[in-house]
Amino acid sequence: MNNNEQSITELDVPPEGNLRQLIAVNPRLAVPKHLKPEQSPVLKPRLTVIETVYHQEPGSDPTSFTSSFPVLLESGEQPCIRKLKVGEVPHSLDTWLKTVSELVIRNDESTYRNTPGRPSETERANVAKRIIEVSSAGQIIAYVRPGRSCRFEPACFGLLQLRCQQGEAKVTVAAFPT
């Protein structure tokens, strides 16, 4: 270490301090190799899931269920996010990803997003029938109703297919790498 460098031990660094900020403020800081940011598991590619589901009975307080967790990713691959139109014929999911850590399927059909003004009862009934079936090896494993989404880790991503029960539905599929 030369005279222009400071050792990390010479600085007042709280244990929860951000090493990246410390280096930005002190560019000539001599950081021990085992503490360098590029070797930190925090800087590994990751996916963070945070979701809350609420249930409320009339006249009572809502009950909530919250789930959150990180997934450290092994690859540096980008997520694959696609907008599709799915009809009554099963549609296979195709991406450049071989394995997927999380898959999110969102049914983008909604009378409130697609119809200007107030939708009629007929329009609402037509949209309500655009339910997406998620199947694997010919077996239905999930339904995604208009305006809803589902998230899961697929066991056999290559076997998944989507199908709209009636008509055609707009769908967004987000596949995140492992």
> What domains lie within the chain, and their CATH numbers?
6-43 (no CATH), 74-177 (2.60.120.10)
Query: Among the residues of 35-120, which ranges form H helices?
Result: 111-114
HSE (side-chain half, CA atoms, 13 Å) at 117:
4
More confident residue, 58 or 94: 58
Structure tokens at 76: 């540096």
pLDDT of residue 7: 47
C-beta separation of 86 from 92 below 8 A:
no
More confident residue, 125 or 107: 107
* Integer CA distances (angstroms), 125 to 23, 107, 114, 130, 132, in order: 59, 16, 14, 9, 15
Phi, psi values for residue 161, rounded to 5°: -140, 150
Average pLDDT (45-69) is: 93
* Integer CA distances (angstroms), 100 to 75, 105, 168, in order: 11, 13, 26
Q: What is the pTM of this model?
A: 0.72
Question: Does 41 score more than 90 pLDDT?
Answer: no
| Closest among 103, 107, 102 to 168, alpha carbons compared | 107
For residue 30, count CB atoms less than 10 angstroms from its CB and return exposed for 0-12, middle for 13-18, buried for 19 or more: middle
Question: Does 139 score more than 80 pLDDT?
Answer: yes
More confident residue, 92 or 14: 92
| Closest among 167, 169, 177 to 83, alpha carbons compared | 169
